[in-house]
């Protein structure tokens, strides 16, 4: 192969990777919120069962995941929460994660069970923004003790 052809193929591969990354980064937000909430409602008994098991075990390991859920985690850092991770997008410091969270106490907790001060009303939910930083968390109550969450870094 001549050098021109190798460069052309390399450029095409790089462009394809960049377009894929851009497409992935643009996924999420309100579309994911609606999708996650719909999956939660359609599979409520599976979420209830998985949350009860995670709380009882103190772990999300080995628990059957409800449809659309990539991972089940149990957090008891500042407040107990079971997180059902449903997706993420972006790269590096521009990353967003979303999913469903079960909080046994019913209190507003952030990503991974963190207690966050200064929640402000935002549409149908609440938003927290890091003072002097770019981290943000959004939660929306889906039912008693159940929340949709988005964490942006």
What is the end-to-end Cα distance of the chain in Å, rounded?
A: 44
The total of other beta-carbon atoms located within 10 Å of residue 120's CB is: 8
Q: Which domain holds residue 58?
A: 28-152
Is the residue at 1 inside a domain?
no
CA distance 142 to 140: 6
Per-residue pLDDT for 7 more than 90? no
Is the residue at 8 inside a domain?
no
CB 101 within 8 A of CB 92: no
**Is this structure's pTM higher than 0.75?**
yes
Least confident of 17-21, 81-85, 132-136, 144-148: 17-21
Number of domains in the chain: 1
CB 126 within 8 A of CB 117: no
SS3 145: coil
| pLDDT, position 29 | 47
């Amino acid at each position: 192969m001549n050098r021109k052809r190798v460069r052309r193929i390399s450029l095409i591969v790089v462009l394809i990777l960049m377009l894929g990354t851009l497409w992935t980064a643009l996924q999420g937000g309100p579309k994911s919120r609606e999708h996650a909430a719909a999956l939660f409602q359609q599979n409520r008994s599976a979420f209830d069962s998985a949350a009860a098991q995670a709380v009882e075990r103190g772990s999300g390991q080995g628990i059957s995941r409800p449809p659309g859920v990539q991972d089940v985690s149990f957090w008891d850092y500042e407040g107990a929460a079971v997180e059902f991770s449903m997706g993420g997008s972006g790269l590096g410091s521009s990353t967003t994660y979303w999913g469903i969270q079960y909080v046994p106490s019913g209190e507003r907790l952030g990503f991974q069970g963190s207690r966050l001060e200064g929640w402000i009303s935002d549409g149908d939910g609440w938003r927290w923004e890091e003072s002097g930083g770019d981290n943000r968390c959004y939660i929306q109550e889906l039912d008693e003790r159940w929340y949709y969450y988005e964490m942006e870094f």
